Amino acid sequence: MGNREDPNATEHPESNAFDRAPARTSTLESLVTLPRHRAIEPPFDSLGAFEMNSNDLVAKIAAAHNVTKSQAQAILDGVLKNIVSAAATGEEVSLPGFGKFKIKVSPEREGRNPANGEKIKIAASKKLTFSPAKAVRDSLNA
């Protein structure tokens, strides 16, 4: 019997694939085993609520407005880029009926290193916060 890859190679009739020695793997390969396929998980969070990602949002925008997904992605990217750039300059972004994005400034403060208890300085930072509009809060709590 000839091997398909090498027509000159021959197999012994008494040997089979189970008799051959396994290929050597590196130490890292033997420690890490990756699945051959990724399990499909339902898009739900730990509380059982539907979790929407940007691809889902883009698909909904494209379907609702009769545009392609790439056009909807460009629209979404533009909206988010403008929100971030406005917030970076310190502006408050208000979307009536939805909510407000604004910057919260945390001043420098003193903290403690949990490993040894030494006092350390925690640098000042800025955070982007979102406050939902009353209509959004009401629909969430209905």
pLDDT tens profile 43-72: 555 566 678 899 999 999 999 999 999 999
Confidence of residue 101 (pLDDT cuts 50, 70, 90): very high
Cβ pair 102, 93 in contact under 8 A: yes
pTM: 0.56
**Span 96-124, mean pLDDT?**
93
Higher pLDDT, 46 or 100: 100
Residue 10's Cβ-count burial label (10 Å; 0-12, 13-18, 19+) is exposed
| Local structure of residue 123 (DSSP, 8 states) | P
Poorest-pLDDT segment among 40-44, 90-94, 134-138: 40-44
